[in-house]
Amino acid sequence: MKYRRLGHSDLEVSEISLGSWLTYGVGVQADASRRCLDAAFDAGINFIDTANVYGRGAAESFLGEALSGRPRDSYILGTKLFFPMSDEDSGLSASQVHKQIDESLRRLRTDYVDLYQCHRYDEGTPLEETMEALSEIVRSGKVRYLGFSEWPAEKIQTALDFPGVERFVSSQPQYSLLHRQPEERVIPLSAANGISQIVWSPLAQGVLTGKYRPDQAPPEGSRATSDEMGGFISGFMRPEVLTAVQELTPLAEQAGLTMTQFALAWVLREPNVASAIIGASRPEQVHENAAASGQNVDPSLFEEAERILAEVAR
């Protein structure tokens, strides 16, 4: 496993990180979840990403229990706030920042999180209020560093322009061979301001693994058959997308990688990407994904992959 500096922080995060969306504490049994977590540490993964809203606190609670036997300085822990935890609790107001960090710390059984991320931008709260509240919890010791997810470039710039507040060190966008929008503005702006990307959905909800074929029904139990995931994966399930993805198979083979590893290695070719978040329900998935770290792939193979997907990527 290789490690990269997270923005201007002093955190060195593994190139592959373990996420907990729709998995730990939610869709995967506890024993299997613990095996995946153990496999992650065995593979050298040191960054665990979660959020308060995952399972309405269930993912954080699972991690709090599962990580309790490990030295706190042996892993880097990130969580998030914004989405509703109840009818009254949502957004990035000062009261919510202070309330939700305390609730997350309680569930995670820790005195601090290494990275606290704004899950989305809050149009209903003045940005200055949010930044001041976030700065307060950093200065109190409850949070080491700050990040955001899926913020538009203009809001990132406005936050950077506020004087006297803590600076963001990370951005968490959706980014993959099939979703390249962050390259337009978010990645250049971040790179110029000491902010690294922690990528979610680097496999385009599993489509880039090649397991979905245009002439076959989705495998039973896959994300494409999940009602909860329908809105996230539907845009990638078009026949023309699935057909194009199948054309990547010989490129991955030339690189000596699986399709999964090839897609993750493509994301990691970007210097501003510090880590790619993967989800796993089985330990062998963790090990396969982790093996994408440090791969030296012929750039011409990536260029050919980009050409093949140019007409269907978003």
Buried b / exposed e over 117-149, threshold 16 CB at 10 Å, is bbbbbbeebebeebbbbbbbbbeeebbbbbbbb
Closest alpha carbon to 100 in 136, 52, 140: 52
Q: How far apart, in whole angstroms, are the C-alpha atoms of residue 84 and residue 4? A: 32
Closest alpha carbon to 81 in 99, 65, 66: 99
Closest alpha carbon to 200 in 229, 170, 174, 166: 174
Among positive and negative, which fits the CA dihedral 251, 14, 19, 78? negative
Of 3, 24, 54, 116, catalytic:
54
Residues 6+ apart with CB under 8 A from 234: none
Is 54 one of the catalytic residues? yes
Q: How far apart, in whole angstroms, are the C-alpha atoms of residue 221 and residue 36? A: 18
The residues assigned a catalytic role are 54
